[in-house]
Structure 1
Amino acid sequence: MKAVTDADFDAEVLKSDKPVLVDFWAEWCAPCRMVAPVLEEIAAEHGDKLDIVKMNIDENPNVPRQYGIASIPAMFVFKDGQPAHQIIGAKPKAALLRELADFI
């Protein structure tokens, strides 16, 4: 999965022509590390319909602050430049697929 930064968030996420799931995470977050391989699988299976990117909140504080990220893991789906859906907390693959059904 691609990493995005405060600097390239607009170009990579908001201006994307397909929905983008942004995984807000940090190195110290154990649940974030648990959900990462699940997101890798979903990206491999559904990458034609949905882009999945990661944003390290410690290295990129501005975008998470702008979207009110208070706890991680937090995943936001952006569609047409706007947040369209949010998922808070680590979830198993089946639950994530249900949450993402409208976008894949």
Structure 2
Amino acid sequence: MEILEFFGMKKDEVPSARLIALEQDMAKYKPSSNELSPNAIEEFVQSFFDGTLKQHLLSEDLPSDWAAKPVKVLVAANFDEVVFDTTKKVLVEFYAPWCGHCKQLVPIYDKLGEHFENDDDVIIAKIDATANELEHTKITSFPTIKLYSKDNQVHDYNGERTLAGLTKFVETDGEGAEPGPSVTEFEEEEDVPARDEL
């Protein structure tokens, strides 16, 4: 079952083919159909070598109540619309359900969401980075916390995972953090998150 999740497949899609490009940070590719004939497989592989095959990115369905709680739930489908809104600054936790550090952060992050709940300029959000992949953002450890400012600068949070530390980070627009590339400077590639913080 874990191998199906890794490939972003469901049981009813088996048998099917997938391609992983190890030299492209484990980028996954999916054929346009589930046909497993020699011709279909050959066309699938050839389209990869021709550079015409679009990368297959994992995405969960958007929950109907994604914005109901103080900490908003993001998936690949609503990430860009919410995070790159230039009228708000958005703090995003990229987490993995099995990550112990992520589980420890939950009560603190929930309090952070409550703290900013009535602030129209701030959104506190989270995304399961094992089930949702983004072309423009690579996640290599969990939890990863990023602040997206109104001018679309990205600031990585490397401080202590405390309510006071996170609150100050948001209120000061990521003060003390080295800004990452702006949204327009992101390379269009994705990464399969590494499980280095169990």
- Per the TM superposition, whether the score is higher than 0.5 is yes
The one-letter amino acid paired with 1:2 is K
- 2-side partners of 1:57 and 1:98: how far apart? 25
Aligned: 1:32 with 2:105: no
Q: Is the CA contact (8 Å cut-off) linking 1:35 and 1:90 kept in structure 2?
A: no
The one-letter amino acid paired with 2:128 is N
1:32-86 per-residue CA deviation (whole Å, 9 max, x = no partner) reads 11112111111111230421111101110225xx322111101111123624311
* Length-normalised TM-score, structure 1: 0.82
Structure 1 unaligned residues grouped into runs of 5+? none
| Shift of residue 7, structure 1, vs aligned partner | 1.0
- 1-side partners of 2:114 and 2:127: how far apart? 18
Aligned: 1:62 with 2:62: no
Q: 1:93 aligns with which of 154, 163, 177?
A: 163
Where 1:12 maps in the other structure, the secondary structure is helix
- 2-side partners of 1:102 and 1:25: how far apart? 23
- 1-side partners of 2:75 and 2:127: how far apart? 6
The one-letter amino acid paired with 1:72 is F
- 1-side partners of 2:87 and 2:134: how far apart? 23
Q: Is the CA contact (8 Å cut-off) linking 1:6 and 1:60 kept in structure 2?
A: yes
**Do the aligned partners of residues 5 and 74 (structure 1) sit closer, same or farther apart at CA in structure 2, a change above 3 Å counting?**
same
Aligned residues: 102
* Length-normalised TM-score, structure 2: 0.46
- 1-side partners of 2:172 and 2:94: how far apart? 20
**Do the aligned partners of residues 94 and 83 (structure 1) sit closer, same or farther apart at CA in structure 2, a change above 3 Å counting?**
same
- 2-side partners of 1:4 and 1:16: how far apart? 17
| Residue of structure 1 equivalent to 2:85 | 15
The one-letter amino acid paired with 1:4 is L
The higher-RCO structure (CA 8 Å, 6+ apart) is 1
**Do the aligned partners of residues 60 and 90 (structure 1) sit closer, same or farther apart at CA in structure 2, a change above 3 Å counting?**
farther
| Shift of residue 30, structure 1, vs aligned partner | 0.9
The one-letter amino acid paired with 1:29 is C
Question: What CA RMSD, in Å, does the superposition of the two structures yield over aligned residues?
Answer: 2.2
Q: Is the CA contact (8 Å cut-off) linking 2:84 and 2:152 kept in structure 1?
A: yes
Q: Is the CA contact (8 Å cut-off) linking 1:73 and 1:90 kept in structure 2?
A: no
Structure number with higher strand proportion: 1
Structure 2 unaligned residues grouped into runs of 5+? 1-70, 174-198
Greater C-alpha radius of gyration: 2
